[in-house]
Amino acid sequence: MIVVNQTKLSRTKPEPNPEKEVLDALFGVGYQFQKAGQFPKAIGAYLETIHRNPKHVWAYNNLGNCYRSLGLYEKALEQFDKALELEPEKRSAKLNKSLALLSLNRYEEAWPLYRSRLDTIDYRKEVLTCGKLEWNGDCLSPDKTLFIYSNQGLGDELQMLRYLPMVAERAPRVIVEVQKQNYELVKDIPGISEFRIRPKDDTSLPQFDFHCEIFTLPELFRTTFETVPPPYRPPFKRDIHIRNLIAEQKHFYPSHRHIGLIWSGNPKNDLNPYRACGLVHQLPLLQLGNCRFYSLQKGAPANDIPKFQNEVSGKLFDLGEHLENMASTATAIDELDLLITTDTSVPHLAGTIGAKSWVLLHQPTDWRWTADKEVTPWYPQMRLFRQKTKGVWTTLIDEVEEALR
């Protein structure tokens, strides 16, 4: 029998470090202010953290994000550069810097840094470690299979559809993985060997030789702000039920304009509180004559409708419960005269199919909508309405109302 000596080892209690405790507390205060959207207060806390410790990489990184959240992109870049000087391979700083560069329309500089998202997003990381090569954009032989996958949102997938015909010219056999909601919309795109639905939990992969995350395509095709390819309208099967519902309304309101409304994205998205205006701010539009409005809102935000039953009664037709996927939503948008929406995946859908749409944008907006232009190169036919003051929707809605008049 082996006898183990169980004499307790003496442990030396670490000496207290008051300065580190102060730094941790300051940084924590900044982080809490940042999470709450109180960016000026967060900036103050991070600046004090840096004053006490000029090598605090995370403080520079978070400070840059606060400036970016205020639309101060050049100041944000300064902070990300300082973080990268201290830690050149810091992935979050690379990613954040790329987003600031994209907002400044400096695409060529941004795309290589934007690749760091592959290491910071958990979904489909197994592709990076499967032992297969990442595609570099070269032409492939017919016996080689390219697997294109997505690890971001529905709108990201739709935005990148424009590149698939270009991919098909270089790769004879392509497998594209998309989220279930997009599948019916895209499954008949010619030139693609197979579309598959992105699994939620299962990490199984198809057989392939090369892989490419779908948002790497702009880099591979050397996309600049001036050379963004036009949207690609996929051939999709129309939802007859949706068409009939709208046709019936058009029959009863033949002289009206038929307009779709969306007031919120996914509440689970951290940015949704800034992007969503809520039905309450779109209510003034319902008072306009010769307009028939349709809710295309899905999920929990659709519960706004019964909250304002008196205001919407007879003025807002709820299509939301009939919209099963992006193909049925595309059918609705195609049948209507106009879509008015906040920043969700649906404006990407409207832009992809070339439908007339007006997008209500928070301040500062996502880089895809540009920082200050009236149109975006990703969807040139769109009209963009921007908040004049961060968080204030009333003046923006006044502009939309006047435009409808």
User: What is the structure's pLDDT at 158?
Assistant: 98
Claim to verify: residue 267 and residue 381 sit in the same structural domain: yes
Claim to verify: residue 257 and residue 129 sit in the same structural domain: no
- In-domain check, residue 87: yes
User: What is the structure's pLDDT at 374?
Assistant: 81
User: What is the structure's pLDDT at 136?
Assistant: 97
Bridge partners (DSSP) of residue 341 are 262, 359
Q: Answer yes or no: is pLDDT of 7 > 50.
A: no
Q: Answer yes or no: is pLDDT of 9 > 60.
A: no
The tens digit of pLDDT for each residue in 35-81 reads 999 999 999 999 999 999 999 999 999 999 999 999 999 999 999 99
Structure tokens at 393: 């929707």
- In-domain check, residue 118: no
Domain boundary residue, one of 220, 253, 288: 220
The tens digit of pLDDT for each residue in 176-226 reads 999 999 999 999 999 999 999 998 876 789 999 999 999 999 999 999 999
Residue 283 sits at the vertex; the CA angle it makes with 386 and 296, to the nearest 5 degrees, is 80
Claim to verify: residue 383 and residue 286 sit in the same structural domain: yes
Task: Give the total number of structural domains in the chain.
Answer: 3
Claim to verify: residue 262 and residue 349 sit in the same structural domain: yes
Q: Answer yes or no: is pLDDT of 3 > 70.
A: no
* Enclosing domain of residue 135: 125-220
- In-domain check, residue 227: no
Angle, helix 57-69 to helix 39-52, in steps of 10 degrees = 160
Answer for the pair 77, 64: CB distance below 8 angstroms, yes or no.
yes
Q: Answer yes or no: is pLDDT of 2 > 70.
A: no
159/161 Cα distance (integer angstroms): 6
Averaged pLDDT for residues 75-88: 98
Domain boundary residue, one of 162, 192, 220: 220
Claim to verify: residue 259 and residue 391 sit in the same structural domain: yes
Claim to verify: residue 134 and residue 45 sit in the same structural domain: no
How confident is the prediction for the chain on average, in pLDDT?
94
The DSSP H or E segment spanning 294 is strand 291-295
Residue 55: give its domain's CATH number: 1.25.40.10
The tens digit of pLDDT for each residue in 212-230 reads 999 999 999 999 999 999 9
- In-domain check, residue 2: no
- In-domain check, residue 270: yes
Domain boundary residue, one of 186, 220, 254: 220
The tens digit of pLDDT for each residue in 108-165 reads 999 999 999 999 888 898 999 999 999 999 999 999 999 999 999 999 999 999 999 9
User: What is the structure's pLDDT at 14?
Assistant: 64
Bridge partners (DSSP) of residue 295 are 261, 318
Claim to verify: residue 200 and residue 315 sit in the same structural domain: no
Strand order in the sheet with 194-197: 133-134, 210-213, 145-149, 173-178, 194-197
Claim to verify: residue 252 and residue 383 sit in the same structural domain: yes
- In-domain check, residue 201: yes
- In-domain check, residue 46: yes
Strands (E), 151-264: 173-178, 194-197, 210-213, 257-262
Claim to verify: residue 43 and residue 138 sit in the same structural domain: no
Averaged pLDDT for residues 289-301: 95
Claim to verify: residue 303 and residue 378 sit in the same structural domain: yes
Claim to verify: residue 251 and residue 318 sit in the same structural domain: yes
- In-domain check, residue 120: no
17/53 Cα distance (integer angstroms): 14
Strands (E), 164-290: 173-178, 194-197, 210-213, 257-262
The count of other CB atoms within 10 Å of the CB of residue 123 is: 14
Claim to verify: residue 152 and residue 276 sit in the same structural domain: no
